[in-house]
Amino acid sequence: MSLRRTFTLYSANSGIEVTPDIKIYRGTCEGMVQLRFFLIQEPGAAAGGKLGQIRFRLEPWEAYDLSLRMVRICRDGGKEKIVHKFTPTGGKEMVTSVTIDKWERAGKSGLGLAVSRADSFISVPIAKDSVSRYLYLAEFLKFLSCRQGWIDKEAA
pLDDT of 43 over the 60 cut: no
pLDDT of 49 over the 60 cut: no
Domain-by-domain residue ranges, the chain?
7-155
The reported pLDDT for the residue numbered 42 is 61
15-27 residue pLDDT tens: 999 999 988 877 7
Ranges of beta strands (E only) in 50-141 are: 53-58, 78-86, 94-105, 108-117, 120-127
The reported pLDDT for the residue numbered 104 is 85
Supply the mean pLDDT for the chain.
88
Q: How far apart are CA 73 and CA 49, in angstroms?
A: 32
Q: How far apart are CA 14 and CA 123, in angstroms?
A: 7
Q: Are 34 and 60 in contact (CB under 8 A)?
A: no
What's the CATH number of domain 7-155, 1.10.3470, 2.60.40, 2.60.120, 2.30.31?
2.30.31
b/e 120-156 (16+ beta carbons within 10 angstroms → b):
bebbbbbeeebeebbbebbebbbebbeebeebeeeee
When pLDDT is averaged across residues 87-114 and rounded to a whole number, the result is 91
Q: Tell me if residue 43 falls in helix, strand or coil.
A: coil
When pLDDT is averaged across residues 29-49 and rounded to a whole number, the result is 79
109-155 residue pLDDT tens: 899 999 999 889 999 999 888 899 999 999 999 999 999 987 765 55
pLDDT higher for 35 or 105? 35
